[in-house]
Amino acid sequence: MIKINTPVDEEKIRSLKVGDEVLISGSIVTARDRAHKYMVEERPDDIRGDLENSIIYHCGPVMKKHDDGTWEVVAAGPTTSIREEIYQADVMEEYKVRGVIGKGGMGPKTLAGLAKTGAVYLHAIGGASQVLARTVVSVPRVYKLEEFGVPESFWVFTVKDFPAVVTMDSHGGSLHDKILATAEEEFRSIVDSL
């Protein structure tokens, strides 16, 4: 397992390759559809400090607010990333984001963006939302809670040993593309044998 601590520099991220297993500690920021659209269209400055050299997590967490005003993460599983394909490369470049965590992979625009900006796509385990929530040690900030609601807000999580696998790297490697090509080849061989 490779330890990644945020903020993380471009050199460290460019050293990662498809298949590398990582444990992330430090700050990560949740962002889903509304947050990505907002970042591209409005280019807000208040979140820049939390995003620069950090990692975006495609996640709509389940949160619980305690009487003392602190937040607890009840569940924090990854959501499907491809929905952010139209925004992700622009967001990474604008905010100097070094990684994106999600599930299902992303497309060619994001893959090109990873190479350009020095970032990686990390796959988190779907269906393990409570396990992943236990890696969150604190929730120091939230942005746009009233406007966007709990799942779509920018939640800043401090995590310790959040597990993920690099499935798209900054060198043009994509495990998702390899799996798709293998599946298509297998499908063709089955059809041809009929």
Cross-strand partners of 25? 5
CB 82 within 8 A of CB 105: yes
For the record, the structure tokens of 178 come out as: 């390899």
For the record, the structure tokens of 53 come out as: 């050299």
If phi > 0 it is left, if psi is from -120 to 50 it is alpha, else beta; for residue 29 that is beta
**CB-based contacts of 10: which residues, under 8 Å, 6+ apart?**
98, 117, 118
Dist CA 154 CA 63 (whole Å):
12
Question: Which position among 36, 58, 123, 176 bears the catalytic label?
Answer: 36
Reply yes or no on whether 176 is catalytic: no
For the record, the structure tokens of 95 come out as: 């905010």
Catalytic residues: 36
